[in-house]
Amino acid sequence: MATTSSGTLCKHHNAASVASRQRCRVCTVVSIAALLLLAVVAAVLALRPRPAVATLEALRLASISVSPIGPSMNATVDVNLAIDNPSPVAAFAHVAGHAEVYYHGALAAYAELPPGRVGAGGTEAMTVRFTVLADRLAARTPQLYGDIIGAGDVPLTVRTAMPGTATVLGFLRHRVVVITVCDVAVSVRAQGGQTSSCRYRTKL
């Protein structure tokens, strides 16, 4: 009877050992799968391009001539833009875009933005010159004359749209449109003086 009891205990011990090893294998497989999943998620987040931003660095009235008689006006506006690409892994290549300047909601000027390329973590600077569409603002010339003579500030809204492609590691491509809208108050009395608030958006 002692021998039989000892054999039964050994069988139970072996069965328990097999079950324990199986549980260990399952835990190992689950752990490896979880680590692989985390690695995939981390890789996707790392490779996902951070959106580029077109920042309005400065806006200057290069020349302006306004007469309340007529009425008539002539003006040119220089806008300095900086295209920042914060992504450490993606280059941003943009095709020709466009920029618009509005005065009290009326389109005052339009310009094409040249194509270019911004490397990962890089910045591209560009200066765009607008010629004000005098015929579009003919009805608002008295209002503009009042802003210049009265307040001394010209309120403008600058909108830029820059379509392009973000390329990750040379082969993963994402089409994007970088949009910037800035409300700017340009001081006529203080040369170069201005205040602005901007909103940025990226359409994927």
* Residue-level pLDDT at 200: 87
* Residue-level pLDDT at 1: 47
Domain spanning 53-203 has what CATH number? 2.60.40
Q: Which among 39-43, 108-112, 133-137, 147-151 has the top mean pLDDT?
A: 108-112
**Domain ranges for the chain:** 1-47, 53-203
pLDDT top residue among 49 and 201? 201
Distance of CA 162 to the CA centre of its chain: 10
Helix (H, G, I), strand (E, B) or coil at 36: helix
Residue with tokens 């203080």: 190
* Residue-level pLDDT at 31: 78
Lowest mean pLDDT among 28-37, 39-48, 55-64: 39-48
pLDDT beyond 80 at 166:
yes
pLDDT beyond 90 at 8:
no
Instruction: State the average pLDDT over residues 111-133.
Output: 89
Lowest mean pLDDT among 36-40, 60-64, 105-109, 139-143: 36-40
Q: Which of 59, 55, 39, 57 is nearest to 47 (CA)?
A: 39
Token couple for 130: 């607008």
* Residue-level pLDDT at 184: 87
Side chain identity at residue 84, one-letter code: D
Q: How confident is the model at residue 118 (pLDDT cuts 50, 70, 90)?
A: very high
Cβ count near 192 (within 10 Å): 10
pLDDT top residue among 145 and 105? 105
45's CB contacts (< 8 A; 6+ apart) are: none
* Residue-level pLDDT at 16: 59
* pTM of the predicted structure, to 2 decimals: 0.68
Helix (H) or strand (E) holding 42: helix 2-47
pLDDT top residue among 198 and 50? 198
